[in-house]
Structure formats: C-alpha cells, structure tokens
Structure 1
C-alpha cells in the first residue's frame, strides 16, 4: 500500500488541524509483520506527533500467530484489524483463529466487515456502466451486504 505523504508531511498537516496523535496500520513486508513493523518504525523516525500502530491482518498462518504474540509482548502493539474485503480477505476459519489468538493475548481484534465478493461484483457492473469516479465507491457497497 502506498501513501502520498510520509510521517513528516502527513503529521505536519495533522498538527496544523490540531491532531497531536496518529495511528497507522502496519502491513507485512515480505510476508513478515515484524519486518513490516520495523520498517514503519524506521519511517516514523521523522514523526512530529505521538503515534502508534495497529496491524492489518490480511493472511493467517502459524508464522503470523507467532509474530502477533511478539508484537504484543515485545512491541506493545495491542490492536489488529482483520479483513473480509477485497484483496485483503481472509477466510472465516482464519479470522476466528486470529480472534482467539488476540483474546489469549489480551489484544483487541477489529473487523473490516464488507462482503468482498459482493463488492467486486458490484464494481464490475459499475465499470461496465462507465462509472469510474469516486462516486462509484458507495454504489459498489449496497446496504444489503454491508
């Protein structure tokens, strides 16, 4: 995932608006959440506000489970967001395993609860109709699946 700003420019803008603390979502680097977290800490060396990290759990296996424990116990990270949407979807059984792991560690499990397959289906219909602007975003998420 690519951002158009870095910690210095993004947090400077936040400070100008009165925000003094930001939270960023850590993504894995080369399949490792620890490597991802270390990269985010390096990027945050220029931070001008207080900051913290969540992790976006976009896949689940034993390595992720082990790294989640390290992130909680050694880095103090205590919130993890699981995805049921789009390219970040994980299976329900993996999500439940992750929730159980979070519970065992006293960490907070969050859920991005969209029906990814339905969103993709609606996006294809909108693209076929020529809807390519930001207006298509809410239209691709009908209330019956959100």
Structure 2
C-alpha cells in the first residue's frame, strides 16, 4: 500500500497524458492535486491558492518553466518548487536552483523519489509558516500595552 501524504500540489506540464498519469499517482497517495498545462496558468492559480509544492516542467509553450519559477517566487518567496523535466542540463539546473527551485529532477522520475521530495518540501513549508506565525504573534504582543 502506498504511503498517504496529505499535501496540496500543483503540477505544471504541457504533456497532458503525463500530467494526468502523474496526478492520479499522487492522488492515490492522498494528495490534493491541481494541474495546468501553461506557465501563465500556473502563476495565476498560485496567486489564488496556496500549495505545499509546485512541480514544474521546464519546456512549455508560452512562458517556460524557468520564467514561471521566477514569477511565482517573486510573488511568493516561500513557495516550494521542484523542477521535473526531460530536457534539463547542468547549466539549467544551476540556474533553476539560483532562482529558488528546491530540487531539479529528471524524467522519468521514480514515484517514490518524487513523493519523498514532496514530503520534504511540505515539511519545510510547514516549518517556515510556523516560524512566520510565531513572529507575527510576537509582534502583536509587543505592540499591545498590557
């Protein structure tokens, strides 16, 4: 039986059959998955919803994965993004990591490896959000005259 992982994931890939198959494999493991086939749509949906992780292809029509990554990170610096591509190079992976990608995985990827990466990203995001909440509470307490 597959491990259940409660995570909200956005998959972005222009290969619709791959996208549908990967979404099903993640949903079976308990994840809530949204899919889009264009970088522009990924930026728009990421502006409206919070995701534990964005899994992003590099090669897409319109804005490519690297530009999509940069736009999402500009709006949401805490966004966790993994690049998953079949056309990556060392140079591209370094550029993606510098732009804020958490990891760079080559297709075909083991579902176990991807689920592990999603779990790690979710844990990291949860920790970051908890730290932000504590700081916000501390600021509120400091501004109140008890």
User: TM-score scaled by structure 1?
Assistant: 0.39
Pick the structure with greater CA Rg. Answer: 1
Looking at both structures, which has the greater relative contact order when contacts are Cα pairs under 8 Å and sequence separation is at least 6?
Answer: 2
